Amino acid sequence: MRRPFLLITNDDGILAPGIRHLWEAVSEHADTAIVAPTTEKSGCGLSITWAKPLRISPVQWDENTPCWSVSGTPADCVKMGLNLLLDKSPQMVISGVNRGSNAGRTVLYSGTIGGVIEASLRGIPGIAFSFCDFDPPPLSVTKKYIFPLIQYFLENPLPPGTFLNVTFPLNCKDGVKGFQFARQGNSYWAENPEKRLHPEGIPYYWLGGKWKGVDEEIHSDVALLEEGYVTAVPIHIAQLTDHAVFHSQKPLIEKFFNSDRETSPMALPIESE
């Protein structure tokens, strides 16, 4: 198999240990380019920079790896990489490795996920990686999963508009129980606002967060991570329509608004006082 060409991004910033970890896990087997945020952009989701300019700077990385930092979000990084910086399209965009779990509903807020969604919307496969630990575990533990997953899904592509969300469990430096294909769970990081006081006496707030656990189905990533498994969840974002609601409500609501409504109470004029 020819060496694939991968675009690497993240949301923890170009200097984060996790992105170095991800590059080290794949560089032996793949050609890579890196486009990542200049500073941390955790929690930015799929947001883009619209009201201010983007600044792009080359970064010294490795003689075989072109690398740039972008003063924006992970989605900005993918946009700039695909439109401006790269001379060919990558076969896959990989993102991470994120510092902290992207299991459960947290996936909706993650900039790590946002970079991969941006790729998926452009027809490019993507895999997002995250650690439940805040410090990267030994590469020897994760390397056996990272590139093999990439290779597997290059050879067995997911449907267009579907990406993979991969999470490593807590304490995986001590080893993991195995690998499980999972469903995205429902637990999430809830807000935990903390009031603070500026030296001038003006109050301000730090949003903060606390884990909001719910009863999880046994095949969810949250439940399986707690058991010590590496999890991978296929997430489909190409079609956002709720088809059940569309088909059940379309004839009813169109009849309601498009029929003769002269006698309908909603259509009666409001008398002025």
Q: What is the pLDDT of residues 110-158, one digit of tens each?
A: 999 999 999 999 999 999 999 998 888 889 889 999 999 999 999 999 9
Which of 29, 24, 38 shows the shortest CA–CA distance to 97?
24
Cα Rg for the chain, rounded, in angstroms?
A: 22
Q: How confident is the model at residue 262 (pLDDT cuts 50, 70, 90)?
A: low
Per-residue pLDDT band for 249 (boundaries 50, 70, 90) equals very high
Q: Which pTM value belongs to this model? A: 0.90
> How confident is the model at residue 263, as a pLDDT?
52
Which domains are seen in the chain, by residue range?
5-243 (3.40.1210.10)
Share above pLDDT 70 across residues of the chain, in percent, rounded to a whole number: 95
**pLDDT band for position 12 (cuts 50, 70, 90):** very high
The pLDDT confidence band at residue 1, using thresholds 50, 70 and 90, is low
Q: Percent of the chain at pLDDT above 90?
A: 78
Distance from CA of residue 109 to its chain's centroid?
A: 8
Tell me the two tokens of residue 267: 């259509």
Tokens 């941390």 correspond to: 40
Q: What are phi and psi of 237, to 5 degrees?
A: -130, 0
Neighbouring C-alpha atoms within 13 Å toward the C-beta of 164: 26
Which amino acid is it at 268? L
**What is the structure's pLDDT at 207?**
79
Distance CA 231, CA 199 (A): 45
**Parallel/antiparallel/unpaired status of strands 92-99 and 31-37:** unpaired
Residue 217, amino acid: E
Tokens 């924006």 label which residue?
72
Per the structure block, which two tokens stand in for 57? 């700077």
pLDDT of 267 > 60? The answer is no
Beta bridge partners of 233: 165
SS (H, E, C) the chain: CCCCEEEEECCCCCCCHHHHHHHHHHCCCCEEEEEEECCCCCCCCCCCCCCCCCCEEECCCECCECEEEECCCHHHHHHHHHHHHCCCCCCEEEEEEEECCCCHHHHHCCHHHHHHHHHHHCCCCEEEEEECCCCCCCHHHHHHHHHHHHHHHHHCCCCCCEEEEEEECCCHHHCCCEEEECECCCCEEECCCEEEECCCCCEEEECCCEEECCCCCCCEHHHHHHCCEEEEEEEECCCCCCHHHHHHHHHHHHHHHHCCCCCCHHHCCCCCC
Name the token pair of 99.
């510092």
**Crossing angle (nearest 10°) for helices 139-155 and 17-26:** 60
